[in-house]
A and B are shown apart, each in its own frame.
Chain A
Amino acid sequence: MISARILRGVAGVAGFLIVGELTIRFGLTDDVVFPPPSLVLWEAMGLLADPVFLSGVAITLTNWALGLIASVVIAVPLGVLLGSLASVERATRPLLEFLRPIPSVAIIPLAILLIPVDSMMKVSVIVYASLWPVLINTLYGMHDVDPLAKESLRSFGFGAIDVLRRVSLPSAAPFMLTGVRIAAGIALILAVSAELLAGGTGGIGVFVIQAGSGNRTDLILAATFWAGIIGMVANSLLVLAERRLFHWHQARTGATT
């Protein structure tokens, strides 16, 4: 079953690449300058041996990981707190609803101005952007806790902390992880965008600036290819973690694996 699915996926990607290759090589006139997929993939492989690119990836991923961890550390307790105290949530909800839809990329110039240390600035915008999915998902998770289970524990004389520990947190955990998974993608977007805007000593975005100034569209696309791969790998790992850790949740909600 799984192998058939993978096969179909591979066929889809290969078909797409071949169509792209043929279109660029033969469909368009000779005058169009756009690197075909084969060249981009070749350059992408070459980047694996490019120390400048690799150190850039390391810088981007470090910011990404720091930002993501910090946002989880902030958003999960905050979400649990707001989710358990209805009055606090009602008081803060308008502010959250106002801040949430602001495109995070738009705050990068402000962050550049306010935060003088370059990597701190980049991590901060990543934190800001990835805070929301984790927070909102945690909130929904807390709301979704089975009231009957909470009531049962209470009637057996368990305190609020025990109810939280034994029912609410385990029940909301899958939602939190889903939030983290969404945030991981957003964090990568912000990590690269901040580099594109602010520049820096290195990073995937900084590499793209250099490639752009040198008329190397092939390298821009090759770097973008790796950014996409990184995002995909991060997402798959988190999906895997969701399935492993919360198999019972998927069984309960009827989600298929």
Chain B
Amino acid sequence: MKRAALALVLLVSGVTACGGDGGAAQEKTTLTVGVVPVPSSAPLFIAEKNGFFKAEGLTVKTEIIQAPQAVMPKILNGSMDAFLTSYVSLLAINDSGAAKLRLFQHVQTAAPGIASVVVPKDSPIRTAADLKGKTVGVNVLRALGQTVTNAHLQQAGLKPDDVKFTAVPFADQLTALSTKKIDAAWLVEPFLTAARKDLGAVEVIDTTSGPTAGLPLDAWGVSEEWLTKNPKTAAAFHRALAKAQQIASADRNAINAVIPTYTQIPAAAASAMKLGEFSAEVDKASFQKLADLLHGYGYLKSKPDVTTMIPSKIG
């Protein structure tokens, strides 16, 4: 075992050394990026398809991940360079002190109709106020779903405690809803469309409109340490991603075309599902609003200043 470990160390250091020689002055030319198999990851695959990484002298390898929380150790020990993260995860990880994460490139901002609280078609619940005393399934507790639902409950005159939230993975929500394990479910695409189509589910709250309109959803994240260690690589990687982001924001078909290549969402469902806005940069005020909402409900310990998480300049 010891010999194997030693061989491994030699192998790894050899690989790193070779990587350094390849690109002109770039700290690193082979990057491992954690990709969540959801539409927000599309720009990375658009960049790869169009050769943007190659043009910058970068080789990007992707690893499928569930969420950055699950691979924090890989991010901390440097075996994962960048990753797709929700803004909520970014804030939560920074708040926990597990790592200092930075927003690298914005991806998706919420648009109305892409995340909703829905009920079965025969449910008596029809408005946010009807949810009093009911159970709502969210994919993760104390995260985006609960936060945006709370904001709408408050608007309807309820307190967050008036509703019981329970954690159910998206993939199981439809079953939980149909077997009445939960009274309502907070769903995002493609599950939202499936719930409407397969169950005839009815929307009670559009959680990405009204008091929670325009919240930022997902972005590419890196650790602060990685950013300071690899400024030139970061600049090159960022140029490629930003270019792909531009394509994604202008051409929905470009997103549709890559989704089936890294997810199990069929092409037809990919083009049918609603998506948010793929804008170039995050709206700082909306980012701060999200942070304040999370902190207001007690899901973050300290009140964050989001400008500290946005690097002033990359590279």
Residues in chain A within 8 A of chain B (CB atoms): 29, 31-34, 74, 109, 112-114, 116-118, 120, 196-202, 206-207, 209-217, 219-220
* A residues near B200, Cβ cutoff 8 Å: 31
The A-contacting residues of B in range 25-60, CB under 8 angstroms, are: 34, 36-38
Q: Chain B binding site: helix, strand, loop or mixed by DSSP? A: mixed
User: In whole angstroms, how far apart are the Cα atoms of A227 and B199 in the complex?
Assistant: 30
Do residues A31 and B178 form an inter-chain contact, with CB atoms below 8 A?
Answer: yes
Do residues B263 and A201 form an inter-chain contact, with CB atoms below 8 A?
Answer: no
Do residues A214 and B174 form an inter-chain contact, with CB atoms below 8 A?
Answer: no
* A residues near B134, Cβ cutoff 8 Å: none
User: In whole angstroms, how far apart are the Cα atoms of A112 and B1 in the complex?
Assistant: 18
Do residues A109 and B73 form an inter-chain contact, with CB atoms below 8 A?
Answer: yes
User: In whole angstroms, how far apart are the Cα atoms of A209 and B175 in the complex?
Assistant: 18
Do residues B71 and A112 form an inter-chain contact, with CB atoms below 8 A?
Answer: yes
Would you call B21 an interface residue if the criterion is a C-beta within 8 Å of the partner chain's C-beta atoms?
Answer: no
* B residues near A213, Cβ cutoff 8 Å: 36-38, 170-171, 263-265
Q: 1/0 contact trace for B160-171 toward A, CB 8 Å?
A: 000000000111
Do residues B79 and A116 form an inter-chain contact, with CB atoms below 8 A?
Answer: yes
User: In whole angstroms, how far apart are the Cα atoms of A114 and B79 in the complex?
Assistant: 11
User: In whole angstroms, how far apart are the Cα atoms of A113 and B79 in the complex?
Assistant: 10
> 15 additional contacts, CB 8 Å, given A120-B8, A210-B264?
A109-B73, A116-B79, A117-B79, A118-B74, A197-B66, A198-B70, A198-B71, A199-B70, A201-B61, A209-B65, A210-B64, A210-B262, A212-B171, A213-B38, A214-B263
* A residues near B285, Cβ cutoff 8 Å: none
Would you call B314 an interface residue if the criterion is a C-beta within 8 Å of the partner chain's C-beta atoms?
Answer: no
For chain B, the bracket of interface size reads 35 or more
- Minimum CB–CB distance from B223 to chain A (whole Å) comes to 14
Would you call B62 an interface residue if the criterion is a C-beta within 8 Å of the partner chain's C-beta atoms?
Answer: yes
For B180, the closest partner residue in chain A by CB is A31
**Can you list 14 A-B pairs with a CB-CB distance of less than 8 A?**
A31-B120, A31-B199, A33-B175, A113-B76, A116-B77, A118-B63, A199-B34, A199-B65, A207-B264, A210-B262, A210-B263, A213-B36, A213-B265, A214-B264
User: In whole angstroms, how far apart are the Cα atoms of A212 and B73 in the complex?
Assistant: 23
Would you call B143 an interface residue if the criterion is a C-beta within 8 Å of the partner chain's C-beta atoms?
Answer: no
User: In whole angstroms, how far apart are the Cα atoms of A34 and B173 in the complex?
Assistant: 11
User: In whole angstroms, how far apart are the Cα atoms of A216 and B190 in the complex?
Assistant: 10
From A114, A200, A219, give the contact of B264 (CB < 8 A): A219
User: In whole angstroms, how far apart are the Cα atoms of A244 and B191 in the complex?
Assistant: 51
- Minimum CB–CB distance from A181 to chain B (whole Å) comes to 24
From B8, B179, B190, B262, give the contact of A32 (CB < 8 A): B179
Q: 1/0 contact trace for B179-199 toward A, CB 8 Å?
A: 100000000001100100011
For A206, the closest partner residue in chain B by CB is B64
For A116, the closest partner residue in chain B by CB is B79
For A29, the closest partner residue in chain B by CB is B178
- Minimum CB–CB distance from A214 to chain B (whole Å) comes to 4
Do residues B170 and A215 form an inter-chain contact, with CB atoms below 8 A?
Answer: yes
Would you call B257 an interface residue if the criterion is a C-beta within 8 Å of the partner chain's C-beta atoms?
Answer: no
* B residues near A112, Cβ cutoff 8 Å: 71, 73-74
User: In whole angstroms, how far apart are the Cα atoms of A116 and B9 in the complex?
Assistant: 10
Would you call B78 an interface residue if the criterion is a C-beta within 8 Å of the partner chain's C-beta atoms?
Answer: yes
Would you call B12 an interface residue if the criterion is a C-beta within 8 Å of the partner chain's C-beta atoms?
Answer: yes
User: In whole angstroms, how far apart are the Cα atoms of A33 and B200 in the complex?
Assistant: 11
Do residues B73 and A215 form an inter-chain contact, with CB atoms below 8 A?
Answer: no
The A-contacting residues of B in range 3-22, CB under 8 angstroms, are: 8, 12
User: In whole angstroms, how far apart are the Cα atoms of A197 and B73 in the complex?
Assistant: 12
* A residues near B263, Cβ cutoff 8 Å: 210, 213-214
The A-contacting residues of B in range 93-123, CB under 8 angstroms, are: 120-121
Do residues A116 and B12 form an inter-chain contact, with CB atoms below 8 A?
Answer: yes
Do residues B264 and A211 form an inter-chain contact, with CB atoms below 8 A?
Answer: yes
From B8, B65, B190, B269, give the contact of A117 (CB < 8 A): B8
